[in-house]
Amino acid sequence: MKRKEDLLDRYFSGHVSAEEKALVESWYLDLNKDKGNLNQQELEDEFYLGFKNINKAIERQKRMFYLRLSAAAAVVFIVLGSLFFINGNEELLSQKEEPQHIHQENLKDKVVLTLSDGRKINLEDLESGAAIDEEGAVLSKSSGAELSYSSSESKSINSFNTVETPIGLSFRINLPDGSKVWVNSMSKLKYPLRFKEDERVVELDGEAYFEIAKNNQPNGDRKPFKVVTKNQTVEVLGTHFNIRSYEDESLVKTTLLEGSVRVHYQALAKMLKPGEQAAYSKPENTVSVSEVNPEDVIAWKEGYFSFKDIDIVTFMNDLKRWYDIDVQYLGEIKSKKISGTFSRTKKLPELLLSVEDLGDYRFKVEGRRVVVMSN
């Protein structure tokens, strides 16, 4: 199977067959249905945006995918931030029976949904359009990287689902109340099948972007939405925000894009305005609030790394969660800050070369290991 990047590159250089030319132009038409006319650079950005997800899925599921993907390669295309699989004469992903329990050892590096009864389902293998009856709530996979709760009549407020994402993959969940959550790589979101009448609470480990639906209590008051992490609770009404709370990082960052939130850190509490970020330091138990560019913070949701004056360790941590690498620091490492925006579809050596061009660091790739050195 030809790599999609190579095909698009050869299309713009004029080195494609008539069949390949028709294939790329059909992708272009599909993209333009919703996006309007795209120029060459915009088309390339749109096309490459979700390719990393496809490539990861292929690499990690070779036994199941290679033959099917070779037959169905002509009907795969990418739309902003999500992975969509188009059904041709043959289903790209096929699961004829209701999902069964999958042993934990088979779920490594998969996007996993844990149901209320403990069953675990590999969402990458779940057929688009497939529905699961979960204690009265109907779950359906509406696209290649999106799970929706199209109706929720679950009687129990103590029944929970959990979605866990591995290295190199992200996933979107449409919650039972209509709220939308994009879960970044190496993250976990736990949520009830039915929210309580007076509040909505979910638990997050890692990073996620939230667009919260407005929801009223029986008395007409707005029903609060709370995101609980190990070190903080974020309380919102109707808003868009991002939380980054990885266990291996010393800062927990909450960034507000729209609306208002109150962030609780034990005895501390901060109100945020749009464009502000609260950073809680775990070692020091302190909170600082600063103005940031929210678009940089949620660039991961659109398929990009966007860094603004971050240290080399934070930079490499992001790459570890996406490229599945080990990092070794050699010698004394400078404390120079890194800034830049890079597509997540970039090959790792290419991305590291771009950072080397900034002049402060050198990198050596040895298989899965990346050695970091100061210039």
Q: What is the CATH number of the domain that holds 284?
A: 2.60.120.1440
Dist CA 289 CA 280 (whole Å): 9
| Same structural domain, 81 and 112 | no
| Same structural domain, 124 and 196 | yes
- Among the ranges given (49-58, 179-188, 204-213, 265-274), the one the predictor scored with the smallest mean pLDDT: 49-58
**For the chain, how big is the Rg over CA atoms in Å?**
22
pTM of the model: 0.69
299's CB contacts (< 8 A; 6+ apart) are 305, 306, 341
| Same structural domain, 72 and 182 | no
Domain end position, chosen among 55, 85, 115:
85
Return the closest-CA partner of residue 168 out of 248, 53, 62. 53
| Same structural domain, 168 and 201 | yes
| Same structural domain, 37 and 138 | no
Domain end position, chosen among 85, 119, 139:
85
What pLDDT shows up at residue 361? 93
CA 15 to chain centre: 34
Q: How confident is the model at residue 128 (pLDDT cuts 50, 70, 90)?
A: confident
The model's pLDDT over 40-66, given as tens digits with 9 standing for 90+, comes to: 555 555 555 444 444 444 444 433 333
Dist CA 232 CA 258 (whole Å): 20
pLDDT at 293 over 60: yes
Q: How large is the average pLDDT for residues 292-313?
A: 92
Dist CA 304 CA 323 (whole Å): 13
Q: How large is the average pLDDT for residues 278-298?
A: 93
Could you tell me if residue 92 is inside a domain?
A: no
Q: Coil, helix or strand for 315? A: helix
| Same structural domain, 58 and 133 | no
Could you tell me if residue 157 is inside a domain?
A: yes
| Same structural domain, 120 and 42 | no
| Same structural domain, 150 and 281 | yes
| Same structural domain, 151 and 252 | yes
DSSP state of 216: B
Range of the domain at 308: 303-374
Could you tell me if residue 189 is inside a domain?
A: yes
Domain total of the chain: 3
Can you name the residues that pair with 280 across neighbouring β-strands?
252, 287
pLDDT at 94 over 60: no
Count of Cβ atoms closer than 10 Å to residue 34 Cβ? 8
Whether the CB-CB separation of 307 and 297 falls below 8 Å is answered with no
Would you say how long the chain is, in residues? Answer: 375
Side chain identity at residue 288, one-letter code: S
Could you tell me if residue 93 is inside a domain?
A: no
Max CA distance (Å), the chain: 66
pLDDT at 258 over 90: yes
| Same structural domain, 38 and 143 | no
Residue 328's CATH number: 3.55.50.30
Q: How large is the average pLDDT for residues 211-235?
A: 86
The model's pLDDT over 152-174, given as tens digits with 9 standing for 90+, comes to: 555 566 789 999 999 999 999 99
Count of Cβ atoms closer than 10 Å to residue 350 Cβ? 11
pLDDT at 251 over 80: yes
Q: What is the 3-state secondary structure (H, E, C) of 31-95?
A: HHHHHCCCCHHHHHHHHHHCHHHHHHHHHHCHHHHHHHHHHHHHHEEEECCEEEECCCCCCCCCC
Side chain identity at residue 222, one-letter code: R
> ∠ CA(145), CA(149), CA(154), 5° rounding?
145
> ∠ CA(286), CA(288), CA(290), 5° rounding?
170
Could you tell me if residue 99 is inside a domain?
A: no
Could you tell me if residue 97 is inside a domain?
A: no
- Quote helix, strand, coil % in the chain, to nearest 5: 25, 35, 40
| Same structural domain, 36 and 111 | no
Domain end position, chosen among 239, 262, 297:
297
pLDDT at 351 over 90: yes
Alpha carbon distances (Å) from 353 to 27, 44, 192, 337, 359: 30, 21, 44, 16, 10
Could you tell me if residue 73 is inside a domain?
A: yes
| Same structural domain, 132 and 240 | yes
Could you tell me if residue 55 is inside a domain?
A: yes
